[in-house]
Amino acid sequence: ICVKYVQKNVQCSLCLCLNPSGDVRSEQQYQQQKFLHQSPGPPYRKDQNKGDSRGRGRGGRQGEHQSSSGEMPRFITVSTFAQARAAEIKAMLKAVTQKSSNSLVFQTLPRHMRRRAMSHNIKRLPRRLQEVAKKEDILNELKAIFQCSEPEEICIPQPTTTLIQEEKEMDVIQSLGKKRKKEDKEGDKAVPVKKIIGDGTRDPFQPRTWVSETTGVVISDQTMEILRYRLIGPSSHCVLAETLKPASIQTEMVDSESKLNDWWVENCKDSEKVSLHHRQTAVFELLEGISSPSEMPPGTILGLTVGDPRVNLPKKKTKAMPDPEKYQDNDKVRQLYLEGVPIECAHSFIWDQDICKNVTENKISEQELNKMRAQLLVPGSQLDLGPGESKVPILLVQQPGKMAGEDRPGWGSGWDIYLPKGWGMAFWIPLIYRGVRVGGLQEASKHSEYQRIPHTPNDFPDCPAGMQFAKELESNLLDKFKRRPPAKRANYVKLGTLSPFICPWAQLVKSWEGTVKAPGEFAHPSSSHAEHCATEGHDFCDPKPEMVKEASSETDEVEETIEISSEDAIKAESGTGTQGFGERGGTMRSDFIVLRSQKLLMQVSAWCYPTSGKDRRPRLVSQLGGKEMTGDVLLPILMSYPRALVWVNLSLLRKGNPELHAMICIPTEDDLLHLSKDRLFCGPQEPRHRDIFKHKVQKLKEKKKKKNGEDNEKAQESNPPSLPEKETTEGRKDLILGLWSGTLPDVTSHCSRALLGYVTRGDFSLATGCGEALGFVSLTGLLCMLHSQPADKKGLVLLRTPASLQYRFARLSIEV
C-alpha cells in the first residue's frame, strides 16, 4: 500500500509491503532483502578519510543498512504506524501553508492577475487573499510612525478667482435629473458611479399619495417600491418560460420562528386563491405555445406568484430557443388568441405592501444559496429548497409593439415584468443567462424610432419637460460647437440654417398663421406655395369669420371631424402650454399645441396618400373614412388649430441620411416636374447665403486686441486693469462666427424652399433599408402644401440637414 502526498517541493511517501503470507514488513526490511541478492559494491576501508564525501556517503549508507537490520522490529501494527505517518503529514502541511517568503500577497499572484491598483486598494485582490492583505497593509503603520508635525501657517497670496475657475468649481455631471460634483474643494473625487443613489435623492416635500375628492380613489406613488424590466422581441415567451417557474402550493410552515413564506401559507389555505393560482399557472404554460407576444391581445395583464429564479440558474449562458412541439394549434391556445387572459387572472399580490415588505425582508441571501450549492452531493446539480424556497409575486404586462401603420405590425412587442424591490438582481442574472441582451437609453430611443412613436421627453415639445430637454440639448450642442477650432466649424449662416441647435416651433407656427391670414405679405421669390394660393384665389388662404360660420352651419359633418372649437383650442393652448415649472417659480409657456385628435389625424393622413387617376382619389378617401379636401372642410380646421404641430414620419426616396434638426421643406413645381422626368433626381440645392455677421465679428476681434494691448500697457504702469464694459461682453457672447445673432427672421421664407417643420430624430433604418426621420410640421403649412400638390405627388417633401446645401426627396406620412 503506497500513500503519497506532494505539496510544492515537499514530498512524503508511506509504503507498507505485504508478503505472500500476509505479514507486514517495513520498507527498510524490504530494501535489505533486495540488496542481499545484488552484488556488493567495491570494499572501502573503515579508516577512510572523513573529508572524502563520496566514499563516506557510500560507506555510511551501507553501514546504516547493516546497523538498522538488527535493530528494526520484525512486525509492526498498521493502525499505529498509519496514525504516526498521518501526524507527520499534518505537520508538513502546516509547515507548507505557513508563509515564509518575503513577497507581498499581490506579488504571489500570477502575472496575468496582477493589477497596479492592488498595491494600494485591497478590494482589487481576490477575496481569498483580502484578509491576509489587510494584515500586510503597512500604509497605516507608516502613517502612525511617520507622523508629521502640524504645518506652520504661511501666508500665500491667492490669485484672483476668474470666471473659468468659478465654472470649474461648479462643474457637475447631469444624468437623468441627478447631479453630482466631479471634484470637491479639497480635490477629492466625488462618489463613484458604482454607488447606488438611494431614496434620499427624492424630494421629501413631494406628495406620494393623491386622493380624488369626487370618487375617493387613492393613488399612491410606487416609484421606489416596484421594479420593471421590459423584454422586447419574439423570444420573450421562451425566456419567460425558462426563467419563471410558478410557485408550488404550501400549507405548512417550515420553521415556526421564521416568517419566510408565511403570507403564502395563509393564502394557500383559501381554496379560491389556490384555484386562481392554478388558472394563472395554466395560462402561463399556454404562453409557450404562442410564437410572438404580438399575437396576444394588446395590453394583456397576467398576475403570477413564482419561485426563486436563482434556484434553476443554468451553469453557462444559454440562448432560450422555442420548442416546436409546444406550438400546436390546440383549442386552448386558440381560445387564448381570441378571448385573451381572463380578468380574474390579472390579480397579483404585488399591490399588497405588507406582502412585498415580507418578501423583501425574508429574501435568501446569495451567500446562503452558495453555501447550499457547495453542500450538494453532486456538484453542479440543481438546488432543491423545497418549502424553504422564496415565493415572489410578479405582474406580467404585454406590450403590443407597433400598432399604427401598415408595415411591420407588432414590431417591438414584448412583456413588462413588475417585481418587488430588492429582487432586481435576483431576476436580472437569470434573464441574462437565458440570452437576454441589455439596452440603455440609446437603445430605448432607437426602439421607439423604429416603432415611429414619440419618445419621452424628446418628442413632446409642448410640455415643460420637452422644453427643458430642448434647452439642455441646445447648450450641449453649442458648447460642442465652440470647442471645435474656428477653421473646422460649419458656417450655418452661409448654409442658410437659422437655428442648428434648437427647433423654433413657436416662430414656425406664427409665420404660417400670418401667411394664412394675409397671403399678400408672404412674398418670397422662390416660395411658390404662397404665390400659388394667391393666384389661384383659394378661399382657405384668406378666411373670413362670416365664411367660417356659414361653412360650419351648412355642413354638420365637418363638425364631427373637429374635436374642439376655436375657443376650446385657445383654452387648450393656455392649459397645456402654460404650466408652472422650475424650483425658482419660473414658468415655461408654449405658444403652440401638438395635434392629438385621432379623428382629425386620420383625416389628414388620408389626404397624404398619393393616387394616380381621376377616380381613384375619391375612392381612396372614402375607403379611409375621410372627406375630400375642399375649402368648406379646411376652413374650420385652420381656424380651430392656427398654431398646431403634427407628428409625421418621413422616408427618403433615394440616398441620404437624415440628422437631428434637419429642415422639412416644401418642393416647388419645378422640383416635382424634374422628379417626374428623371427618377434618379436626388433633389435641388440651396444657393449659398451671404454671412452678414462676418465683418462685425472681425471688428470685435480687432477691438478686443486693441483693448488687451491697452490693458497690458496699463499693467506695466502698475495700474489696476479696468473691467470690460457690459455691452462689449454681451456683444461678444452673442456674436459667434457661423451662427445667426439676435432675433431670427421669418423662418419659413428664409431659404429658397418654404420651411414646413423640423426633424427631431433621424437615421438610416435597418428595418426598411433607407433613411427615415421623425419630426413635427405645421398643420397649416401641411394643409396648404397638400392642397397645392397634384394627386400623384401628395406627401412629397424635401429634407435638408443643417450642415448641407443638398435637398433630398422624402415621402411624408401620418400613422394613426
Identity at 540, one-letter amino acid code: F
Among 397, 420, 438, the domain boundary falls at 438
Asked whether residue 409 falls in the same domain as residue 503, the answer is no
**Quick check: 564 pLDDT over 70?**
no
Q: Summarize the confidence of residues 790-813 as an average pLDDT.
A: 93
Q: Summarize the confidence of residues 182-187 as an average pLDDT.
A: 46
Asked whether residue 425 falls in the same domain as residue 554, the answer is no
Going by C-alpha positions, the residue among 398, 401, 285 that lies closest to residue 333 is 285
Q: Residue 165: in which H helix or E strand, if any? A: helix 163-169
Q: Summarize the confidence of residues 681-705 as an average pLDDT.
A: 86
| 255 DSSP 8-state letter | -
Per-residue pLDDT of 730-764, as tens digits, reads 444 568 888 988 888 999 999 999 999 999 999 99
**Quick check: 555 pLDDT over 80?**
no
pLDDT given for residue 596 in this prediction: 93
C-alpha cell at 598: 385621432
Residue pair 603/616 in contact (Cβ under 8 Å)? The answer is: no
| pTM assigned to the model | 0.66
State whether the Cα torsion 775-777-782-783 is positive or negative. Answer: positive
604 lies in a domain?
Answer: yes
Among 403, 438, 473, the domain boundary falls at 438
b (16+ CB within 10 A) / e for 331-341:
eebeebeeebb
Asked whether residue 417 falls in the same domain as residue 543, the answer is no
268 lies in a domain?
Answer: yes
d(CA 350, CA 395): 7
Going by C-alpha positions, the residue among 769, 539, 526 that lies closest to residue 665 is 526
Read out DSSP for 452-484? Answer: T---TTTT-TTSHHHHHHHHHHHHHHHHHHHHS
b (16+ CB within 10 A) / e for 685-704:
ebeebebebeeebeebeeee
Q: Is 379 exposed, middle or buried (0-12, 13-18, 19+ CB in 10 A)?
A: exposed
**Quick check: 506 pLDDT over 90?**
yes
d(CA 68, CA 60): 12
Asked whether residue 331 falls in the same domain as residue 289, the answer is yes
What does the mean pLDDT of the chain come to? 76
Q: Residue 811: in which H helix or E strand, if any? A: strand 808-813
Q: Summarize the confidence of residues 236-252 as an average pLDDT.
A: 89
Segments forming the whole domain that contains residue 11: 1-35
Q: Which residue has the higher pLDDT, 545 or 679?
A: 679
pLDDT given for residue 46 in this prediction: 43
Number of domains in the chain: 3
How many other C-beta atoms can be found within 10 angstroms of the C-beta atom of residue 446?
16
Look at residue 344 and give its three-state secondary structure.
helix
Asked whether residue 426 falls in the same domain as residue 499, the answer is no
pLDDT given for residue 206 in this prediction: 66
Rounded to the nearest angstrom, the gap between the alpha carbon of residue 748 and the centroid of all alpha carbons in its chain is 37
Furthest C-alpha separation in the chain: 144
| 343 DSSP 8-state letter | G
Q: Which residue has the higher pLDDT, 590 or 159?
A: 590
b (16+ CB within 10 A) / e for 453-478:
bbbeebbbbbbbbbbebbeebbeeee
d(CA 440, CA 450): 16
Asked whether residue 404 falls in the same domain as residue 491, the answer is no
Q: Which residue has the higher pLDDT, 194 or 257?
A: 257
Per-residue confidence at 471, pLDDT binned at 50, 70, 90? Answer: very high
Q: Residue 128: in which H helix or E strand, if any? A: helix 127-135
d(CA 632, CA 98): 98
Asked whether residue 686 falls in the same domain as residue 635, the answer is yes
Per-residue confidence at 589, pLDDT binned at 50, 70, 90? Answer: low
Per-residue pLDDT of 137-183, as tens digits, reads 665 655 555 555 555 554 444 444 333 333 444 444 454 444 444 44
210 lies in a domain?
Answer: no
Instruction: Kindly state the percentage of the chain with pLDDT values over 90.
Output: 34
| 183 DSSP 8-state letter | B
378 lies in a domain?
Answer: no
Asked whether residue 631 falls in the same domain as residue 488, the answer is yes
Q: Length of the chain in residues, anyone?
A: 816
Rounded to the nearest angstrom, the gap between the alpha carbon of residue 528 and the centroid of all alpha carbons in its chain is 45
Rounded to the nearest angstrom, the gap between the alpha carbon of residue 510 and the centroid of all alpha carbons in its chain is 37
Rounded to the nearest angstrom, the gap between the alpha carbon of residue 678 and the centroid of all alpha carbons in its chain is 44
42 lies in a domain?
Answer: no
Asked whether residue 361 falls in the same domain as residue 478, the answer is no
**Quick check: 563 pLDDT over 80?**
no
Q: Summarize the confidence of residues 519-524 as an average pLDDT.
A: 40
Going by C-alpha positions, the residue among 648, 200, 240 that lies closest to residue 436 is 240
Q: Is 201 exposed, middle or buried (0-12, 13-18, 19+ CB in 10 A)?
A: exposed
Q: Summarize the confidence of residues 10-37 as an average pLDDT.
A: 48
145 lies in a domain?
Answer: no
Asked whether residue 339 falls in the same domain as residue 423, the answer is yes
Per-residue pLDDT of 36-89, as tens digits, reads 554 444 444 444 444 444 444 444 444 444 444 457 778 888 999 999 999 999
Among 423, 438, 453, the domain boundary falls at 438
Per-residue confidence at 247, pLDDT binned at 50, 70, 90? Answer: very high
Per-residue pLDDT of 261-274, as tens digits, reads 889 988 899 899 99
Contacts of 704 (CB under 8 A, 6+ apart): 732
Asked whether residue 271 falls in the same domain as residue 411, the answer is yes
How many other C-beta atoms can be found within 10 angstroms of the C-beta atom of residue 118?
20
Going by C-alpha positions, the residue among 367, 383, 403, 415 that lies closest to residue 311 is 383
C-alpha cell at 722: 479696468
**Quick check: 548 pLDDT over 70?**
no
**Quick check: 331 pLDDT over 50?**
yes
Identity at 478, one-letter amino acid code: L
346 lies in a domain?
Answer: yes
Q: Which residue has the higher pLDDT, 222 or 472?
A: 472
148 lies in a domain?
Answer: no
